[in-house]
Amino acid sequence: MTQLTWDDVAEGQEISIVEETPSQRLVIWAAASGDFYQIHYDDSIANENKLPGIIVHGALKGMLVGRLLDEWIGDEGRIVRWGVSYRAMDRARLPITVWGRVTRKYEDGGRALLDLDVGVKQQDGTTETTPGTATVELPRRA
């Protein structure tokens, strides 16, 4: 794949991926992260905790935003930082859209940088559960 360069990107540009959240995937995440809290794989325990059913791990949503950025910037790009807030729950078994939008394109100390708004949206298109921001560095066009 051709390496994305800073010069290729415009403010306002949008990126996204759609991810499935079956219970099996949440169990794989539990193993990967060491978070075995049952509200992510046991509906009855989720209900006891005032939840409508099992929910997607916040940290998995955060790391999906990291993957969105990582796949977009390619091997020569670098993530400076990203952060998200888990404002609302995403019920498991429903697809989610992980998205980003470039808000600022600038240079700082010789580095070619982009700021983005990022987040996770439910498929009804209205509920924004996981808002955040990110900064990435890209190579300049040769």
> What is the 3 state secondary structure string of 8-32?
HCCCCCEEEEEECCCHHHHHHHHHH
Strand partners, 15: 100
139 neighbors 75 (Cβ within 8 angstroms): no
Q: Which is nearer to other proteins, 9 or 73 (CB)?
A: 73
Task: Give the nearer residue to other proteins in terms of CB position, either 17 or 101.
Answer: 17
Smaller CB distance to other proteins: residue 30 or 103? 30
In whole angstroms, the minimum distance from the beta carbon of 49 to other proteins comes to 5
58 or 100: CB nearest other proteins: 58
Interface with other proteins (CB under 8 A): 19, 25, 28-29, 31-34, 36-38, 49-50, 57-60, 62-64, 66-67, 69-71, 75, 78-86, 132
- How far is the C-alpha of 135 from the C-alpha of 109, rounded, in Å? 15
The nearest distance, CB 27 to other proteins, in angstroms, is: 9
Minimum CB distance to other proteins, residue 78 (Å): 8
Rounded least distance, CB 8 to other proteins, Å? 20
Q: What letter represents residue 107's amino acid?
A: E
Alpha-carbon gap, residue 104 to 95, rounded angstroms: 29
| Owner of token pair 């298109």 | 125
